[in-house]
Amino acid sequence: MKYSRIIGTGSYLPPRVWTNDDLRAIMDTSDEWIQQRTGIKERRWVDQDSTTSTSDLALQAARAALTSASLSRDDLDMIIVATLSPDHEFPGAACFLQAKLDVPGIAALDVRQQCTGFIYSLSIADQFIKTGMYKNILVVGAEVHSKGLDKTTAGRDVAVLFGDGAGAVVMTGSDDASKKAPRIISTHLHADGRFAKELWIKAPGSGDAAAWLTHEKLDAGEQFPKMNGKAVFVNAVKRMPEVISEALAANGLTVADVDLFVFHQANLRINEMVAKQLGAPDDKVFSTIERFGNTTAATIPIGLDEAVKAGKLKPGMLVASAAFGSGFTWGSALIRW
């Protein structure tokens, strides 16, 4: 049987920084409120007047990941893009990225699993590689949230949380069966659609009697994300430790075996509670929320790349990753780096 392993990482954050005080200039909020509740100090947003799209950010991250993997784009067999903010309603962002990377013909797939999108995508790539169907797969998480947020006081509970960015990994097949060989050790995926409307965007969509998108829907702000923040918080702090424990138990490992935790970054308070429940020491938990906010599907691959660049993630380490988000969806990945 083949194994899959990550051989390169890359990320791209748009250059324009929006501090909490910058947001205060456009909505009724404060640096104190945002930092106390979420730990976020600043986030990156693309130039709001530009045509910069999700696949543009994905392209930069993908190129960096290919360089770090010492692989040419022509070596790729498949592209997976996890995003909830695609360039257009259809086709998927993976098709736009494929055209920009100039690799026509290979498989291109979008995964719409929100904050858990990267873990789902990693798992899908892992299955394709393990079966021997594909050798090299580019997995990208990318989001341009800023163009889809209600950036007025009415939308402040959501708008302050989210940032734009992209992260990518290149995965390849390996025959090395030795116990400590680099590989995706396991992935565990979950969802509970009964909570779908706790964090969602209602329109455009086919779920109403009215047309896909109407002026009335726009006037009602149905195109903006709506969130029951407390329900998300309560479920995230329950499911993330649970799914990490599930992964460790399935592999006969314990929290003490883990060298680095790279969690999804929705809220520093959530991750502090998750780490506390697991008994994970602070110095083993990698954090990017202060600088980038919640970049949804991009968060974990950005975190992996930042951890590599910071010298915190080195070959041979055991990495535990987990995410929770809209759907609700949640999942974990154990990776021998």
Ligand X SMILES: CC(C)(COP(=O)(O)OP(=O)(O)OC[C@H]1O[C@@H](n2cnc3c(N)ncnc32)[C@H](O)[C@@H]1OP(=O)(O)O)[C@@H](O)C(=O)NCCC(=O)NCCS
Q: How far apart (Å, rounded) are the C-alpha atoms in residues 66 and 144? A: 22
Query: How many residues in the shown chain lie near ligand X by CB under 6 A?
Result: 20
Q: Which is nearer to ligand X, 29 or 60 (CB)?
A: 29
The catalytic position among 115, 188, 267, 271 is 115
CB of 31 to ligand X, least distance (A): 10
Active site residue 294: yes
Query: Which residues, numbered 16-45, are part of the site for ligand X (CB under 6 A)?
Result: 29, 33-34, 37-38
> Interface mask (CB under 6 A) for ligand X, residues 189-228, using x and -?
--------------------------------------x-
CB-based contact 334:122 (threshold 8 Å)? no
The catalytic position among 20, 145, 264, 271 is 264
Q: Which is nearer to ligand X, 183 or 188 (CB)?
A: 188
Q: Which is nearer to ligand X, 9 or 235 (CB)?
A: 235
β partners of residue 167: 11, 141
Active site residue 228: no
Q: Which is nearer to ligand X, 148 or 229 (CB)?
A: 229
CB atoms within 10 A of CB 327: 23
Residues ≥6 apart with Cβ < 8 Å to 62: 10, 79, 97, 101, 138, 140, 166, 168
Active site residue 115: yes
> Interface mask (CB under 6 A) for ligand X, residues 314-333, using x and -?
-----------x--------
The catalytic position among 20, 136, 267, 294 is 294
Closest CB to ligand X belongs to which residue? 229
Query: Which residues, numbered 139-178, are part of the site for ligand X (CB under 6 A)?
Result: 156-157, 160-161
Strand bridging mode 318-325 / 165-174: unpaired
Q: How far apart (Å, rounded) are the C-alpha atoms in residues 83 and 73? A: 21
CB-based contact 172:153 (threshold 8 Å)? no
Which one, of 64, 53, 55, 65, lies nearest residue 100 by Cα?
Answer: 55
Residue 115 binds to ligand X (criterion: CB under 6 A): yes
- Give the containing element (helix H, strand E) for 138: strand 136-143
Q: Which is nearer to ligand X, 95 or 270 (CB)?
A: 270
Q: How far apart (Å, rounded) are the C-alpha atoms in residues 332 and 241? A: 10
Q: Which is nearer to ligand X, 35 or 174 (CB)?
A: 35
Burial degree of 252 (CB within 10 A; 0-12, 13-18, 19+): exposed
CB of 220 to ligand X, least distance (A): 19
CB of 170 to ligand X, least distance (A): 26
Strand order in the sheet with 318-325: 183-191, 329-336, 318-325, 260-263
CB of 27 to ligand X, least distance (A): 7
Q: How far apart (Å, rounded) are the C-alpha atoms in residues 75 and 64? A: 15
- Determine which residue in the list 11, 146, 267, 329 makes contact with ligand X, applying CB under 6 A: 267
165: left (phi over 0), alpha (psi -120 to 50) or beta: left
Strand bridging mode 3-12 / 165-174: antiparallel
Q: Which is nearer to ligand X, 73 or 195 (CB)?
A: 195
CB of 157 to ligand X, least distance (A): 4
CB of 296 to ligand X, least distance (A): 7
End-to-end CA distance of the chain: 19
Q: Which residues bind ligand X (CB under 6 A)?
A: 29, 33-34, 37-38, 115, 156-157, 160-161, 227, 229-230, 232-233, 266-267, 270, 294, 325
Residues marked active site are found at 115, 264, 294
